[in-house]
Amino acid sequence: MVEMHRRGKERFSELFEAIDERSALIERMIFDRGFHRRFSPNHLNIAVYSYFKQGGKALRPAVLLFACGAVGGDEEMALPAAAALEAYHTWTLVHDDIIDQDNRRRGGPTVHALFKEVGEKELNFDPDEAKHYGISMGILAGDIQHAWAVSLLCKMAKSGVNEGLVLELIDKLESDVLPSLLEGETLDIQLSSVPLSTLTEASILRMLWKKTGVLYRFAGWAGAIIGGGTIEEVAGISSFCSRCGLAFQLVDDILGLVGDEDVLGKPVGSDIREGKKTIPILFTYKNSGKEDRDFIEMVLGNHRVDEGKVKRLVEMVRVSGGIDYTDSLARRLVSGAREKLNVLRYSRYKKYFELLSEFIVSRDY
């Protein structure tokens, strides 16, 4: 799998080089000392920058810049919006990790886990106080990142972007994207109480789109709007990004079961212990007999279950066709997404989008 990972990077080297080039520009803006000095005291500053320093895929801001270029716009004008999107996405991760009680992110500790430890070691808090401190720091860091994203968008007006357009971007982000993201998060929490026997594929897909597809759609829409795209171009890119965002999450759910731990940076099968009701799991359940259904219900969400049972469930998902079914679903989404690019004239940006759609369904991390 690691060898496949290496070959995959070679196959998509042009795409990755384009993403890395833009990521460096965004990183420079994120770590600008003018912003860095605003966030104090020191613990809060560390919390705000924690995930940025751990790195990430930076796909959403790259997508925004690709969209701007694809319609003939100036990417430099869109850079503050791309940085804003990265800050915005990051606050959702920080808060999501608190809600999901996750202790690891990008190979390092989550913000609340890091500051729980800080609370114990530096502030001499007892375990309950330290846990509360960690959660508090995560909430506060996320709130700052949220406000920071809006501030970065406002900065665009000073770069020559029409003020009315800046207001439109902020309004879209706060009155459309935000409610959708929070709806998706709420649905995700509520789905944990829905029995597999009554759960539907449509409900999972709706939740995933709200949590993931919405922000990808905004990335495409914002970039195309800033770049001065036509109504058709904006709609086409937005739809492409929306579908690709959902496909990306479906592949994530596949990799959470059968990916390579060294490549992913997290234990394979952890989604099973956490009780995540994904499309591969649901497909397997719906296509199993009573004995296997009982086994799935016993293992899913059971933190005490042994490794052997987790591996057995993973193998059941593989044999049942759950992996292949989900992969096929993701590929259909991407195929439909690529059709939306027909509104664009050919350019290197269109090629980046085509490579991105291909990467999404063939990646191993």
Return the pLDDT at 106.
78
Q: What element of type H or E holds 141?
A: helix 127-158
pLDDT tens digits, one per residue of 266-310:
566 778 988 899 999 999 999 999 999 999 999 999 988 889 999
Q: How far is CA 357 from CA 193, 234, 334, in A?
A: 33, 18, 6
Confidence of residue 262 (pLDDT cuts 50, 70, 90): low
Max CA distance (Å), the chain: 65
Specify the amino acid at residue 304: R
* pLDDT of 6 above 60: no
Share of the chain above pLDDT 70, in %: 95
- Report residue 158's pLDDT band, with 50, 70 and 90 as the boundaries: confident
Confidence of residue 265 (pLDDT cuts 50, 70, 90): low
**What is the domain partition of the chain in residue ranges?**
2-360
Indicate the CATH number of 2-360 among 1.10.600.10, 3.40.50.970, 3.40.1190.20, 3.30.450.20: 1.10.600.10
The pLDDT tens digits for 74-115 are: 999 999 999 999 999 999 999 999 998 888 887 789 999 999
pLDDT digits (tens, 9 = 90+) for 307-329: 999 999 999 999 999 999 999 99
Q: Residue 261 pLDDT > 70, yes or no?
A: no
Residue 259 reports pLDDT greater than 80: no
At residue 258, the pLDDT reads 87
Give the mean pLDDT of the chain: 92
- Tell me, what's the pLDDT at 264? 53
Report d(CA 194, CA 190) in Å as an integer.
7
SS3 per residue for 24-48:
HHHHHHHCCHHHHCCCCCHHHHHHH
Provide the 10 A C-beta neighbour count for residue 296.
Answer: 19
pLDDT of residue 303: 85
pLDDT digit string, tens, across residues 175-190: 999 999 999 999 999 9
- CA-based nearest residue to 145, from 218, 80, 92, 211: 92
Tens-place pLDDT, residues 46-68: 999 999 988 777 899 999 999 99
Which pLDDT score is estimated for 192? 87
Going along the chain, which residue ranges are E strands?
A: 104-105, 108-109
Flag whether pLDDT at 233 surpasses 50.
yes
